[in-house]
């Protein structure tokens, strides 16, 4: 497997770990201790602690960005694009994703926390655009 493919796998695993390690633990700990019934969890209504709601948003951030990264890696694979630049960008995306999620889960909302989260998101967005450009150039050659 290429480095971008490994990074994509890492991104997918991270998304699952965030789901199971935050949302899943929070919900099941309350269900299994009898504090809530399983049917009380409603997707359309805000519930749970502030931390739980941040965990839900952090997980959704992963879910929303995973297909974009997957499409770029798929195109790189199909085009046979393989370079040190793609490897570095893919690695940066995974590291920035983990950092963004960690900040989201660890720090209470503030201007500073939101700015740091956005900086990590921005790194991912720029790296994805750079990867897509690099793949397009490679495919055109």
- Nearest partner of 135 among 92, 94, 74, judged by Cα: 74
Sign of CA dihedral 97, 114, 61, 38: positive
CA-CA distance, 129 to 48, in Å (whole number)? 36
Q: Name the helix (H) or strand (E) containing 92.
A: helix 84-106
pTM to 2 decimal places: 0.91
Q: What is the pLDDT of residues 83-131, one digit of tens each?
A: 999 999 999 999 999 999 999 999 999 999 999 999 999 999 999 999 9
Does domain 3-140 correspond to CATH entry 1.20.120.550? yes
- Residue 1 CA to residue 21 CA, distance in Å, equals 27
**Taking the domains of the chain in order of start, what are their residue ranges?**
3-140
Q: How far apart are CA 135 and CA 73, in angstroms?
A: 9
Cα(100)–Cα(61) distance, integer angstroms: 9
Mean pLDDT along residues 132-140:
93
């Amino acid at each position: 497997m290429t480095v971008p493919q490994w990074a994509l796998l890492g991104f997918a695993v991270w998304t699952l770990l965030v789901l199971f390690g935050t949302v899943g633990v929070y919900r099941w700990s309350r269900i299994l201790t009898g504090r809530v019934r399983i049917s009380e969890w409603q997707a359309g209504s805000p519930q749970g602690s502030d931390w739980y709601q941040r965990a839900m948003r952090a997980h959704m951030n992963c879910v929303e960005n995973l297909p974009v990264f997957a499409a770029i890696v798929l195109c790189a694979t199909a085009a046979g694009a393989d370079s040190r630049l793609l490897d570095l960008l893919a690695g940066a995306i995974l590291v920035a994703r983990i950092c963004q999620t960690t900040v989201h889960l660890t720090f209470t909302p503030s201007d500073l926390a939101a700015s740091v989260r956005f900086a990590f998101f921005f790194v991912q967005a720029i790296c994805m655009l750079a990867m897509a450009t690099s793949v397009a150039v490679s495919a055109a050659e």
